[in-house]
């Protein structure tokens, strides 16, 4: 822990207050204008949010993963577009340099990344290579003491803001074992030959900008290779993805918490047939299922961050968490919105429907799409002996009894959410009353 517990708690409280008092009220404005106000960026810099994961010796806060996710959970109570501004700096933008960069590269870039002076973009995806990222076509050809880069990158997050591009490029025309044909380069955004495409028009996450980045005879010095050696780029990216997937999982949990909060409030306040809709069993069941989904995701996230902080290899666990959490937030949003269309002035409709239809699907692809994550899990898990649990152990009275237990649990979880004081039926003590 680079900061003491009291300081961490103060930071968490500061971010919580800022998000709920400053960011939540401007969510609709950001979505409508597709732009985060510049003063929000300045506030993030002042709060140190760009440097959560960068060690203290390089100007950051040096938080452990389990500490970092607490801040991300608070930040993503608001639209995920706000977190997108700092996401690459916290993940691949800093971790690739920290893990495999030379000391000179760390000293040159990490303090600027941690302060938010430089916003980073990770350039891997191309028009013809997505999940098969090692099939990239961008070339880096050695020319004396420099490399010449040519190629195009697609869907590059924060590219319109970026001061530094981390570019994955092919340094060998042949595909080499262990993907050693891929190298990683640090390319300042003002390097001649870099051209940005138009901003992507996405269905969701307005305010989180991305665009194509084109490299046309871009000349960079040989020492711009991360680590100073060819052939390590792919390994660097994969190592950095583990912490990045922890962060993305936290984004999903934070968004799900907000949706369920708004849904529960709506279930208490909205009346039909003379009673709050939260008194209807089907509504209770949806809330209970959502709470169970969220709780499972929270437990998975906490366990994953703890394992990462202990130095364990968590490639499998990070993949599992990212898969589960990204699908979890979609399920919860789908339940809340349902097949109807709530009043657009209602917070549930504004936030949950936006996440369900627009924001959640892109999150499912960040850090690897679902099919890729399943492949990662299958590959890593091969050879492991799975524990086989008899159904009778879980439900000794049989499947029918288990169904009854599920109904009881639905009711208990929903009543706990709707009646936090534990007294069902006393509407005067309900949340929001």
Going residue by residue through the chain (433 aa), what tens digit of pLDDT does each one get? 568 899 999 999 999 999 999 999 999 999 999 999 999 999 999 999 999 999 999 999 999 999 999 999 999 999 999 999 999 999 999 999 999 999 999 999 999 999 999 999 999 999 988 778 788 999 999 999 999 999 999 999 999 999 999 999 999 999 999 899 999 999 999 999 999 999 998 877 889 999 999 999 999 999 999 999 999 999 998 888 889 999 999 999 999 999 999 899 989 999 999 999 999 999 999 999 999 999 999 999 999 999 999 999 998 999 999 999 999 999 998 888 863 434 434 555 555 555 544 444 444 445 555 555 555 555 555 544 333 222 222 233 333 333 333 344 444 445 555 554 433 333 333 333 2
Helices 233-269, 92-100: crossing angle, 10 deg rounding: 150
Least Cα distance to 325 among 304, 309, 339 occurs for: 304
Which DSSP helix (H) or strand (E) runs through 400? helix 399-418
DSSP 387: P
Burial class (CB in 10 A: 0-12, 13-18, 19+), 352: buried
Which domains are delineated in the chain? 5-115 (1.10.540.10), 120-231 (2.40.110.10), 235-429 (1.20.140.10)
Cα separation of 277 and 291, whole Å?
A: 17
Residue 263: CB atoms within 10 A of its CB come to: 25
The CA radius of gyration of the chain, in Å to the nearest whole number, is: 23
């Amino acid at each position: 822990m680079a900061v003491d517990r009291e300081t961490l708690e103060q930071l968490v409280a500061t971010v919580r207050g800022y998000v709920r008092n400053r960011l939540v009220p401007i969510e609709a404005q950001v979505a409508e204008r597709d732009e985060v106000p510049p003063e929000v960026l300045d506030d993030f810099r002042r709060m140190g949010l760009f440097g959560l994961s960068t060690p203290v010796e390089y100007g950051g806060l040096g938080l452990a993963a389990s500490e970092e996710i607490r801040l991300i959970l608070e930040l993503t109570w608001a639209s995920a577009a706000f977190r997108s501004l700092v996401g690459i700096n916290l993940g691949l933008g800093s971790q690739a340099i920290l893990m495999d960069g030379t000391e000179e590269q760390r000293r040159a870039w990490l303090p600027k990344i941690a302060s938010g002076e430089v916003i980073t973009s990770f350039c891997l995806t191309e028009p013809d290579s997505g999940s098969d990222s090692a099939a990239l076509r961008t070339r880096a050809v050695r020319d004396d003491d420099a490399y010449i880069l040519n190629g195009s990158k697609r869907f590059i997050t924060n590219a319109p803001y970026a001061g530094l591009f981390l570019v994955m490029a092919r340094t060998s025309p042949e595909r080499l074992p262990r993907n050693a044909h891929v190298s990683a380069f640090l390319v300042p955004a003002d390097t001649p030959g870099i051209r940005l495409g138009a901003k992507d028009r996405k269905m969701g996450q307005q305010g989180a900008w991305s665009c194509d980045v084109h490299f046309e005879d871009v000349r960079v010095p040989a020492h711009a290779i991360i680590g100073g050696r060819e052939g390590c780029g792919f390994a660097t990216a994969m190592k950095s993805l583990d912490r990045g997937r922890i962060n993305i999982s936290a984004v999903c949990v934070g968004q799900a918490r907000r949706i369920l909060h708004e849904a529960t409030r709506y279930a208490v306040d909205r009346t039909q047939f003379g009673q709050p809709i939260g008194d209807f069993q089907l509504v209770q069941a949806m809330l209970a299922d959502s709470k169970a989904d969220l709780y499972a995701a929270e437990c998975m996230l906490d366990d994953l961050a703890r394992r990462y902080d202990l130095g364990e290899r968590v490639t499998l666990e990070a993949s599992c968490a990212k898969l589960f959490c990204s699908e979890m937030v979609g399920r919860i949003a789908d339940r809340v919105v349902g097949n109807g269309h709530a009043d657009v002035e209602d917070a549930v409709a504004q936030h949950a429907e936006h996440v369900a239809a627009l924001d959640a699907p892109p999150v499912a692809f960040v850090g690897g799409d679902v099919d890729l994550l399943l492949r990662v899990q299958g590959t890593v898990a091969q050879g492991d002996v799975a524990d086989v649990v008899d159904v009778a152990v879980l439900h000794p009275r049989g499947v029918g009894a288990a169904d009854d237990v599920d109904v009881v649990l639905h009711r208990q979880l929903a009543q706990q959410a709707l009646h936090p004081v534990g007294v069902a039926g006393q509407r005067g003590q309900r949340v929001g009353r």
